Structure 1
Amino acid sequence: IKRFKGQYIHSREYKSPEKFRGKKIAVVGIGNSGADLAIELSHVAAQVFLSTRRGAWIWSRVWDYGMPMDTVLSTRFNTVLNKFYPTFLINRLGENRLNARFNHDIYGLLPQHSFLSHQVTFGDDLPNRLISGRVLIKPNVREFTETSAIFEDGTEEDLDVVVFATGYTFSFPFLENDSAVLDSQCSMFKFVFPPQLEKPTLAIIGILQPLGATIPTSELQSRWAVRVFR
């Protein structure tokens, strides 16, 4: 990337699409940050290229009859069913359901992984941006030149900006990497309490990716932590 003479940033530095108006932009990564950025930038950019190594199953926040997806799927009844249905069958049902909305293979997004084996990517408006040509799916970047990106399929695209939506590394430097607090995997009981501590005096909130929204889940974690502390 250091050969590239244009602008390149990580998704955490992105604030507003306005300064990218009229640019040719490559977004690298198709997690939630990558999908959201590609959709938003496509409204102002000359062209957006969305680069993905392995494709993704694209979920919609709006489910049948206009209901929020998480309220429809996250029910006690479905939880019980999932305990009895074999994983391969749940995968097949889920993949057929998402492909019924838009064919992932035709759009160049068919993943190498199954429906349940990787994190969820939401992108309600992504099919619209793809079918209009405002976002173009590309494979992994093989190399950068001074003015372009060369992708693994041999195609080359001139670029003004590269946005790396390549994820985050969790770090707790204020804990001094103390194994008595957190192990090397940063594992927490119920994603909240470090199990190595002698007493439950530390709670970590929001380090999870639920099926639905993070904020109400974090709210419940916070209520539980307060009760434990009290």
Structure 2
Amino acid sequence: MLPYAIIGAGPMGLCTARRLRQYQLPWIGFELNSGVGGLWDIDNPHSTMYSSAHLISSKTMTEFSDFPMAASVPPYPNHRQMKTYFDAYADRFELRSGFRFNTRVTQVVRDGDHWQIDTEHDGRHERHAVAGVLLASGTLHQPKRIELPGEFSGERLHSADYRDPALFDGKRVLIIGCGNSGCDIAVDAVHRAARVDLSVRRGYYFLPKFVAGRPIDTLGGKIRLPNRLKQWIDGGIIRALIGKPSDYGLPNPDYRLYESHPVVNSLFLHHLGHGDIQPRPDIRSVNGHSVSFADGQQAEYDLILEASGYRLSYPYIAQHELNWQGAAPDLFLNIFNPDNPNLFVMGMIEAAGLGWQGRDEQSHLVALYLHQRARDTHSARDFERAIRAHHSERCDGGMHYLTLDRMAYYVHKPTYLSALKKHQRRLRRDLESPLSTIVHSAEETA
């Protein structure tokens, strides 16, 4: 039996490998770096991590539920602690031996019902025949560059290039973009730069990391409120705690809370309020070191840093194979391709609070489906019909998400997890008892 190929040994690739192994499905993994962890390994030359980076969700909302982080790890771990966690996960489930490290996937092409993968390692090129491909190479690799209206004579970088705040020493800095990375980097810069300005075009919601001594994402009751009511209540609490963005010189959002990913940062507004960071509107023109803004103001800068996010990219496979529509592939549950039944996109998902456990639920569903499909069960055939009719199942939970590139694969966490669990239950209906015992035993020892 041909193996399934997993591309990437970051957290998504690791839990995918674990679930395939649990269901006794053969697999081979390919990883560009020398070890596991993906972008959380800052020593990985392909990582987009920076030295001050921490989780923006708390560890209890992010960790794998059956592999919790150590009690000594703080509520918001840094990248080193996350790398240690993923190393321990790979060791616990004996996953390293299945991956070929320092190996670049150069091309993935269809070969009838199967696939061929071309790789490069130490200058050697190889071709691998595989039963199917699970793309787990992540969503934060191709920087989304900004077209400036003019020519800038100073230093210009993207947040993907940023590692250490020493970069800012004595410089006049303009950061473009007010997402989580932009705000983190602005806070880094205030301690080293001569001046820090931040250009922002639209409004954002800002949340503190802690409320009443607890991580903000751990608060809330067990009763699920209707979306509009939750938005109204949570929005009121946030305004009472920190005020409106316009109180700090920023534009107010023209959308409701949670319709775009909020900024979770306890220090950014603090520094705005103390004048350490100067908010600026959109850029009108650039000439040499001079930047003119939409409000008519002008300033001189030594460094422009673009915190403008990333474009979704799977450069080793043709977009038409992924049913690419607009900014992202159009897939059932953001995973399953109605036209390519042996091709799966793993981890192309964003949702507030989904964490690694939500992504593990993805990999569990895929592995369970592949096992059942190999046995040609009724449940597998039913699931394939659902994949082909994938537009009948939306996972936005009735939310009106902004039509931004980075929101193209955003889902409503409770709705999405409910859908994954529903299909897992249906696929389990005709599990044979011998394998059911094996699977149960694997989960018990996990």
With the length of structure 2 as denominator, give the TM-score of the two structures. 0.46
- Paired residue for 2:215? 68
- Paired residue for 1:159? 301
Q: The residue matched to 2:198 in structure 1 has which SS?
A: strand
Q: Trace 1:203-222 onto structure 2 (pairs within 5 A).
A: 203-212=344-353, 214-222=355-363
Q: The residue matched to 1:44 in structure 2 has which SS?
A: coil
**Structure 2 Cα separation of the partners of residues 96 and 181 of structure 1:** 41
The residue type paired with residue 148 of structure 1 is: S
Q: The residue matched to 2:156 in structure 1 has which SS?
A: strand
- Paired residue for 2:123? none
The residue type paired with residue 51 of structure 1 is: S
Q: Which residue of 333, 337, 340 maps to 1:190?
A: 333
Q: Which residue of 31, 39, 47 maps to 2:187?
A: 39
- 1:44–1:208 CA distance, 2 compared to 1 (3 A): farther
Q: Which has the higher Rg, Structure 1 or Structure 2?
A: 2
Residue pair 1:21, 1:45 contacting (<8 A) in 2 also: yes
- Paired residue for 1:21? 169
Q: The residue matched to 2:248 in structure 1 has which SS?
A: coil
**Structure 2 Cα separation of the partners of residues 55 and 184 of structure 1:** 27
Residue 205 of structure 2 is aligned to residue 57 of structure 1: yes
- 1:15–1:70 CA distance, 2 compared to 1 (3 A): same
- CA-CA distance at 1:212 after TM superposition: 2.3
- 1:44–1:9 CA distance, 2 compared to 1 (3 A): same
Residue 241 of structure 2 is aligned to residue 97 of structure 1: no
Q: Which residue of 70, 73, 77 maps to 2:223?
A: 77
- CA-CA distance at 1:124 after TM superposition: 1.7
The residue type paired with residue 323 of structure 2 is: L
Further displaced range: 8-17 or 109-118: 109-118
Between Structure 1 and Structure 2, which shows a larger proportion of strand residues? 2
Instruction: Spell out, residue by residue over 1:75-96, the C-alpha distance to the aligned partner (whole angstroms, 9 max, x if none).
Output: 6512xx226xxx2x44333332
The residue type paired with residue 27 of structure 1 is: I
Residue pair 1:28, 1:50 contacting (<8 A) in 2 also: yes
Residue pair 2:168, 2:193 contacting (<8 A) in 1 also: yes
- 1:223–1:15 CA distance, 2 compared to 1 (3 A): farther
The residue type paired with residue 117 of structure 1 is: E
**Structure 2 Cα separation of the partners of residues 159 and 203 of structure 1:** 45
The residue type paired with residue 211 of structure 1 is: A
Residue pair 1:49, 1:137 contacting (<8 A) in 2 also: yes
Corresponding residue pairs, total? 219
- CA-CA distance at 1:160 after TM superposition: 0.9
**Structure 1 Cα separation of the partners of residues 185 and 308 of structure 2:** 12
Residue pair 1:143, 1:151 contacting (<8 A) in 2 also: yes
The residue type paired with residue 82 of structure 1 is: P
- 1:47–1:229 CA distance, 2 compared to 1 (3 A): farther
Runs of 4+ displaced beyond 4 Å: none
- CA-CA distance at 1:191 after TM superposition: 2.2
Stretches of structure 2 that go unaligned for 5 or more consecutive residues are: 1-147, 372-446
Residue 271 of structure 2 is aligned to residue 129 of structure 1: yes
Structure number with higher relative contact order (C-alpha < 8 Å, ≥ 6 residues apart): 1
Residue pair 1:3, 1:145 contacting (<8 A) in 2 also: yes
Instruction: Spell out, residue by residue over 1:140-199, the C-alpha distance to the aligned partner (whole angstroms, 9 max, x if none).
Output: 111112112111111112111111111221122322122x532324122222223332x2
Q: Which residue of 216, 225, 228 maps to 2:366?
A: 225
Residue pair 1:55, 1:108 contacting (<8 A) in 2 also: no
Instruction: Spell out, residue by residue over 1:7-54, the C-alpha distance to the aligned partner (whole angstroms, 9 max, x if none).
Output: 111111111111211211111111122112112222222221111101
Further displaced range: 206-215 or 19-28: 206-215
- Paired residue for 1:116? 258
- 1:72–1:196 CA distance, 2 compared to 1 (3 A): farther
Residue pair 2:322, 2:330 contacting (<8 A) in 1 also: no
**Structure 1 Cα separation of the partners of residues 318 and 162 of structure 2:** 29
Residue 255 of structure 2 is aligned to residue 107 of structure 1: no
The residue type paired with residue 96 of structure 1 is: G
- 1:219–1:129 CA distance, 2 compared to 1 (3 A): farther
The share of aligned pairs that are identical, in percent, is: 26
Residue pair 2:261, 2:352 contacting (<8 A) in 1 also: no
- 1:202–1:147 CA distance, 2 compared to 1 (3 A): same
Q: The residue matched to 1:111 in structure 2 has which SS?
A: coil
- Paired residue for 1:174? 316
Residue pair 1:208, 1:214 contacting (<8 A) in 2 also: no
The residue type paired with residue 136 of structure 1 is: Q
Residue pair 1:28, 1:163 contacting (<8 A) in 2 also: yes
